[in-house]
Amino acid sequence: MQTNLRGRDMITTQEWTREEIDTVMDVAMDLKRSRALGLPHAYLRDKVLAMLFFFSSTRTRSSFEAGMAQLGGHGMFLAHESTQISHGDTAKEIGEILGRYNDGIAIRHCDWGIGTQYLRWVAEASRSPVLNMQCETYHPFQILADLMTIKEKKGDLKGKTISVSWAYAASYQKPMSVPQSLILLMTRYGMNVRLVHPPEFQLMPHIVEQAAENARKHHGSFEIMDDFDAGMKDSDVIYAKSWGAMNTTTDNAEGAAIIDKYKDWITDERRMAMANEDAIYMHPLPADRNVEVTDGVIDGPQSVVFDQAENRLHAQKAVMALTMN
């Protein structure tokens, strides 16, 4: 266990060592146990987390705010429209000022080509840790919760197969931060990672390169596939969700036209039957029901989406407790 994480930013899990991430998992399980037993754990009494949102949220806001309250502190919700950012507050000023007022700054900023850099600029200026509630490149807290969930359901991850697949959704061009963070972290735990998507939905090349290197170093495997059915076969974990074709086009109309070519990319009962008998289905939510996934799968016995959502709370509390105390 690592005990020197005070003040650390969490922008991507790739910047934390395996031992540090294992520490997060250990603390998260302890906090989950304490909550189940009704044991107080106010490790952040009188601490305040500024939560700045440029992008709407259900689970992220709720879990961070609840987590801070359970840790004895306060989560300060800030919608960017209600601030002076549009009138001239720079990322440096946000970092300098919020970093002095608060004990941590959490930011969700998913604008393509902007979000990650904005977090980096705030982190450079802040004296308090910066936590990434999602940007266009990374979604570290979702993936920490996913890691926790897979460990709970599957035990040792080494040698297990996860299919990280694109799925059809017509709502909008969703960020690719979830699949990117998944392939980065799961390859570090020796999993056999399959990245499955139509040709127009490539992830960022440098992320794919890092995932391949992670797999090499940690004796797993990393494979890119373009056949949804083939990716499902003999998998232990099915993680199928939509993301946008931003690496092909940033034009929303063109992106929507590309998405509409693949309406058959849905996780249904037929496809789940191709996976291992005890395979689990995962999704970060919200899902486009009967578009990305059928009701029969997401509400079925193999689905762990609500356990997965709950673990957002525990994983986030662990990082906050370790970095903000």
Domains of the chain, start order: 13-139+312-324 (3.40.50.1370), 142-308 (3.40.50.1370)
Helix (H) or strand (E) holding 180: helix 177-186
- What is the token pair recorded at 305? 């989406």
- Mean pLDDT, range 61-69, rounded to an integer: 98
- Mean pLDDT, range 273-302, rounded to an integer: 97
3-state secondary structure string, 111-155?
A: CCCCHHHHHHHHHHHCCCCEEEEEECCCCHHHHHHHHHHHHHHHC
pLDDT at 14 over 80: yes
pLDDT at 82 over 90: no
CA–CA separation, 197 and 174 (whole Å): 14
- Mean pLDDT, range 11-39, rounded to an integer: 98
Range of weakest confidence among 29-33, 87-91, 198-202: 87-91
Position 1 confidence tier, pLDDT thresholds 50, 70, 90:
very high
CA–CA separation, 161 and 177 (whole Å): 20
0.75 cut: is pTM over it?
Answer: yes
pLDDT at 250 over 90: no
CA–CA separation, 78 and 260 (whole Å): 35
Q: Order of strands, edge to edge, in the sheet holding 280-282?
A: 221-225, 192-196, 161-166, 237-241, 280-282
Position 35 confidence tier, pLDDT thresholds 50, 70, 90:
very high
pLDDT at 215 over 90: yes
pLDDT at 142 over 90: yes
pLDDT at 171 over 70: no
- Looking at residue 170, its pLDDT comes to 81
Position 252 confidence tier, pLDDT thresholds 50, 70, 90:
confident
- Mean pLDDT, range 139-167, rounded to an integer: 98
Range of weakest confidence among 19-28, 56-65, 78-87: 78-87
- Mean pLDDT, range 253-266, rounded to an integer: 93
- Inter-axis angle of helices 205-217 and 177-186, nearest 10: 20
Which positions ≥6 away from 34 have C-beta within 8 Å?
40, 41
- Looking at residue 34, its pLDDT comes to 98
- What is the token pair recorded at 62? 């709720």
- Looking at residue 245, its pLDDT comes to 94
Residue 266's closest CA among 141, 166, 126, 134? 166
Q: Is the peptide bond before 40 cis (omega within 30 degrees of 0)?
A: no
pLDDT at 212 over 90: yes
Position 173 confidence tier, pLDDT thresholds 50, 70, 90:
confident
Q: Order of strands, edge to edge, in the sheet holding 48-53?
A: 74-79, 48-53, 104-109, 130-135
Report the percent of the chain where pLDDT is more than 70: 99
- b/e code 91-121 from CB counts within 10 Å (16+ = b): beebbeebbeebbbbbbbbbeeeebbebbbb
Residue 66's closest CA among 283, 307, 285, 316? 316
pLDDT at 84 over 70: yes
> By the 8 A CB rule, do 157 and 35 touch?
no
Residue 161's closest CA among 138, 139, 187? 187
pLDDT at 120 over 90: yes
Position 30 confidence tier, pLDDT thresholds 50, 70, 90:
very high
pLDDT at 172 over 80: no
CA–CA separation, 93 and 287 (whole Å): 36
Q: How far is CA 67 from CA 43, 62, 63, 64, 105, in A?
A: 11, 8, 6, 5, 14
Position 205 confidence tier, pLDDT thresholds 50, 70, 90:
very high
